[in-house]
Structure formats: C-alpha cells, structure tokens
Structure 1
Amino acid sequence: MNPQLLVDCIDVNTHFGALHVLKNVSLTIRPGETVGLVGESGSGKTTLGRAILGIGPVSSGRILFNGTDIAGCPPGARAGEAAAIQAVFQDPYSSLNPSMTIEDILIEPVIARGLASRVDATAQVRKLLKQVALPTDAAQRYPREFSGGQRQRVAIARALALSPRLIVCDEPVSALDLSTQARVLDLFIEIQERTGVAYLFVSHDLSVVRHISHRVAVMRSGEIVEFGECDQVTARPAHDYTRRLLLAAPVADPIRQAERRAAFQALEKGN
C-alpha cells in the first residue's frame, strides 16, 4: 500500500442477493484529507461508507486501512482499527440514546473499550464539548434539550472521543437548515485542521461537498464515474452525470437558475 494513503478501496463489490450494489469501486483517502462522495439516492455511496465502517457487507475486493485489509471484518474483529474509524450519521437524534445524558453518551465508547476509567473519561468531557463549541453545562443535559445542529455537534464529539484517524460522515448536514449546515461544515473543517482527522463525507448535495472536500468522487449506480481534485470535479467536470448534478443544484439568482435549468434540459435531451 502507498504509505501516503490512509484508506485504499480496491475493486470493492457488494451484492444484496441478485442486486449488484457496489461495482468494482476503487477510492483512496489520504491522512488528514476530506474525500467527498456524492451521488443521487440509491447510487451506493452509503453502502460504501458502511463497508469501510465494517457494518456493511463486502462480496469481493479489498479495503486497506493503514495497510491492513479490513474488508468484510466487523468492528469487533478489527483490533485497533475499530476505534480508529468512527461515524457521524444523518439523524443525530436517532443516533443518540435519549435516556442518557450527554456526558454518558460521550464517555460510553471510551469505557466500553477499556481505554480509561470513568473518572478519567469524565474529565475528557469538558475538552470534547469545547472542541465542538458546546457549553460545559451541556454534559448534564439530554439530547431532547438541544436543537438539531447542537445534537449533531454532540454526535461529532462522540466520534472524536476515541481519537479516530477517519470519520465516515453519512449525510451529516442534510437534516439541518442552510445556516446551521454552514456552521456545522465549518466545525468539521476546524476540527480537521486541529486534529488531522480524515473524512469520507457522503452527500447527495454537490454544493455541500464542494465546501468541505479536497477531492471528490462521484458515484452513479454503484460505480465511481469521476474522481479528482475538488476544483476540477465541481467546476470542470469530465462526466455528463457530474454536469447534471451541478446543474440540478439550485442557486439564488433567478436568471442564473433559469440558465442552469435550460442547460440541464439540453443535457438531458442529448442523452
């Protein structure tokens, strides 16, 4: 494996019965970078994220994490890699136990893996809350007492509790309003600059991916159809599917929006 790569997915295939969901997918993630994975619903992007996390099947191919093949291995069989790969999901409310305080939510993964005593883990809560810009008194409150954006900050803090090298972010801002989206995206960027964590950032929204990514992979029907530097893919795409995704994204200017709609329709007619 290239020592400059943290993750190297090589010809990954996933079948659900007769349905071929991932088709020879190859994708790399470097230490400390964000790779945006964008595509329409049903394109296979969440399936790939779950395969990297070890909570989704791999029929064939390899997923190298720091040189170790983890394809098809559940988190419990991954030794140190399990803690090194964490996740932030789309709906923070459903991913947080409503009966637990924020403090208990944050220290649970640390204690469960025997990485610290409860006293030592509790002492880290203040640091985690500070990392995600939440007040220290949040520790004794419950998820229902927070807004959607604040709950997502809690979910990010929980992912950071184990000092991961990679976080798989599966549509982490799609349930938030636009202003909250921007603040949470900026938080992801600040955390990355401070900790060096890498992200696989899964989204259907190319404008969101463009805001946060260093490189972008475009997935369609289980295949990566375009993969390259963010500026290249989002400004000068090589594939018609990527062009359609760009033109389908709404803009505030009604004149530009009309022009984009006309260009999108022309591209559709040409295929």
Structure 2
Amino acid sequence: MTPPTRPLLELDEVVVEYPGKGRGKKPFRVLHGVSLSIAPGETLGLVGESGSGKTTLGRAVLGLAPVTGGAIRYQGRTVSGLGKRERRALSKDIQVVFQDPFTSLNPAMTVMDILTEPLLVTGVSRADAERRVQGLLDQVYLPLDAARRLPREFSGGQRQRIAIARALCRDPKVIVCDEPVSALDLSTQARVLDLFVEIQEATGVAYLFVTHDLSVVRHISHRVAVLYRGEIVETGDAAKVTENPDHPYTKRLLLAAPVPDPDRQAERRAERRELQRAQAEAG
C-alpha cells in the first residue's frame, strides 16, 4: 500500500527542553530540532535506544511534553502550545496507545465503562455509545461478553486490544503508539501488529509507531526515522532503513537484534563493537 504524500502531521525543527535540576542549572535538551511528517494512512516508525528521545517526541505530539522551539502542525494548523480546552478538542483526532495496557486501563471499571466514557463526555447517548463499543470489540476480535468484565480478567494481548479499541472510539486520524507491543510475548506481538495493520487498512488511520525494535518497525511501517540523542540521523523507506541502513547508529541497532544462530550472533556482536569503536573515534 502506498499512502498519500500530503502531510497530516508535521514536526518542524521541534525542540523539547526540561528545566535543570537545581538553582542555576541549564535546561536539559531532549530533542534538538526534530523534523518529521506523516501522511494520512501512513505508518512512520520511530526507532531508537532507551534515552534517545523517542517517547518524548510522542509525548510532544500529544501535548504532554513542553515544545520550547519549532512547531507541531496538524492538518496545517499549529497545535504545539494549545490550551487545555483546545487540546481536549484535538484529542478526537490524535489518540494514543501506551506500552503497558494494564496501567493505562482503570482496574475498577468494566470494559464497557472504559470504552463508553470518552463517548459519553462528548454528548453521545448511552445507547449509541454501547452500540459503538460492541462494534469496537468485534473490530479488535474480543468476545461480546468482554464488555461486562474487568481488565484483570484478560491476558496482556487482550488488554492491549482493549486499549486499541479505546483509542479508536472517536475515529481518530492519528494514533501515537508508544512501544505498544514491547511488553508482549513474540506470538502475541505478531497478532497485535497484524491487528494494527488491519485497522489501518479499514479506517485509514495514521500511526506514529515508537519502538526500539527494528524488526517491529519493518513489519508495520511505510517509512522509518531513526532517533539518536534527540536528533534524526536517518529516515527513509522501511525496507531500506531496516535491511540496508546507511548510518552507523542504525547499523548498530540492526546488529543488536538477536538471531538464533550462535556463531552468527557472535559475529554480529563483534561487528557492533567495531561500529561503536569507529563511531566513538569519529566524534
């Protein structure tokens, strides 16, 4: 599938800084002028190691991290720096799926209450909201009786399906996916990734898919951007970046992925150490 090229979401030289800890300390800069764009119906995989700034970038898109420079635009409108009321209105179009589905779901509420809540607060009738929820449960392949149950009664993969259903409640145009499969076992990961792809094909939603795993972004992304120390060091077609990258850091990420052959794994570790050494010498 080739998505449209007109940007839906744009990040233009975005800078995120947090105040320094202690009097007189300089602000800590997490993102150093990041520019990205996502088209309608496209998945942009954002990959990097822990501490690279990738989660901060996702939080900036959601209005949860302070944008101290540059701009974030949605459908051409600058949305960085919006007030709380305007940000709540924007949440209809920009939603999120977090890494840990259990902590993101209220353990005291049934699935029906969790999924109807964002609809009821916008004035949708309870009857219409419950019909919508039944359709969402079917869309994410959960049984209809799931609506009457509590989050603790489900497996990790099922809870993530509930979180995906909640993100879909108001028909968003963009979903920020923050490491949404990293807490799942490999077989469950594959099923949830396939669900993301299926939902995108059915609805045209765009994803900003944040992960540390190049194999995951290869599976789901149209394009990939690689973030290193708060800067984009490589971006391009998913197959190219995840199979034949140009930047040494991306090559190191690729070599860090485990392979079943012990001899080949040892070779990859040696190659990665050599790349680290060469990159350190280069500055």
Normalised TM-score (structure 1): 0.96
Rounded Cα–Cα distance in structure 2 between residues aligned with 1:86 and 1:192: 14
What is residue 11 of structure 1 aligned with on the other side?
A: 13
- Whichever residue aligns with residue 8 of structure 2, its letter is L
How far 1:75 moved relative to its partner? 5.4
What is residue 90 of structure 1 aligned with on the other side?
A: 99
| Partner SS, residue 151 of structure 1 | helix
For residues 3 and 229 of structure 1, do their structure 2 counterparts lie closer, same or farther at Cα, with a shift above 3 Å needed? closer
Q: 2:126 aligns with which of 115, 118, 124?
A: 118
1:225 pairs with 2:227: no
How far 1:6 moved relative to its partner? 0.4
Give the CA RMSD over aligned residues.
Answer: 1.4
| Partner SS, residue 93 of structure 1 | coil
Gap regions ≥5 residues in structure 2: 20-26
For residues 266 and 229 of structure 1, do their structure 2 counterparts lie closer, same or farther at Cα, with a shift above 3 Å needed? same
Deviations 1:51-74 (A, max 9, x none): 111122100111110111001225
User: Runs of 4 or more off by more than 6 Å in structure 1?
Assistant: none
Q: 1:213 aligns with which of 210, 214, 221?
A: 221
What is residue 108 of structure 2 aligned with on the other side?
A: 99
Q: Is the 8 A contact 2:30 2:229 kept in 1?
A: yes
- Whichever residue aligns with residue 168 of structure 2, its letter is L
Deviations 1:233-265 (A, max 9, x none): 111211100000000111122232222122112
Q: Is the 8 A contact 1:8 1:64 kept in 2?
A: yes
Q: 1:259 aligns with which of 264, 267, 271?
A: 267
What is residue 243 of structure 1 aligned with on the other side?
A: 251
1:81 pairs with 2:90: yes
Q: Is the 8 A contact 2:5 2:39 kept in 1?
A: no
| Partner SS, residue 249 of structure 2 | helix
For residues 79 and 101 of structure 1, do their structure 2 counterparts lie closer, same or farther at Cα, with a shift above 3 Å needed? closer
Rounded Cα–Cα distance in structure 1 between residues aligned with 2:278 and 2:57: 30
| Partner SS, residue 134 of structure 1 | coil
Aligned residues: 269
1:130 pairs with 2:132: no
- Whichever residue aligns with residue 74 of structure 2, its letter is F
For residues 152 and 268 of structure 1, do their structure 2 counterparts lie closer, same or farther at Cα, with a shift above 3 Å needed? same
For residues 3 and 259 of structure 1, do their structure 2 counterparts lie closer, same or farther at Cα, with a shift above 3 Å needed? closer
Q: Is the 8 A contact 1:76 1:82 kept in 2?
A: no
| Partner SS, residue 12 of structure 1 | strand
Farther-moved stretch of structure 1 (227-236 vs 78-87): 78-87
Rounded Cα–Cα distance in structure 2 between residues aligned with 1:42 and 1:74: 28
Counting aligned pairs with the same residue, the percent is 62
Rounded Cα–Cα distance in structure 1 between residues aligned with 2:47 and 2:175: 16
What is residue 20 of structure 1 aligned with on the other side?
A: 29
What is residue 190 of structure 2 aligned with on the other side?
A: 182
Deviations 1:201-231 (A, max 9, x none): 0001111111111000100111111111101
| Partner SS, residue 133 of structure 1 | coil
Q: Is the 8 A contact 1:49 1:168 kept in 2?
A: yes
- Whichever residue aligns with residue 262 of structure 2, its letter is P
Rounded Cα–Cα distance in structure 2 between residues aligned with 1:220 and 1:42: 9
How far 1:95 moved relative to its partner? 0.3
1:54 pairs with 2:63: yes
For residues 121 and 186 of structure 1, do their structure 2 counterparts lie closer, same or farther at Cα, with a shift above 3 Å needed? same
Deviations 1:139-186 (A, max 9, x none): 000000000000000000000001000000000011111111111011
Farther-moved stretch of structure 1 (69-78 vs 152-161): 69-78
Normalised TM-score (structure 2): 0.92
Gap regions ≥5 residues in structure 1: none
Rounded Cα–Cα distance in structure 2 between residues aligned with 1:57 and 1:93: 26
1:139 pairs with 2:147: yes
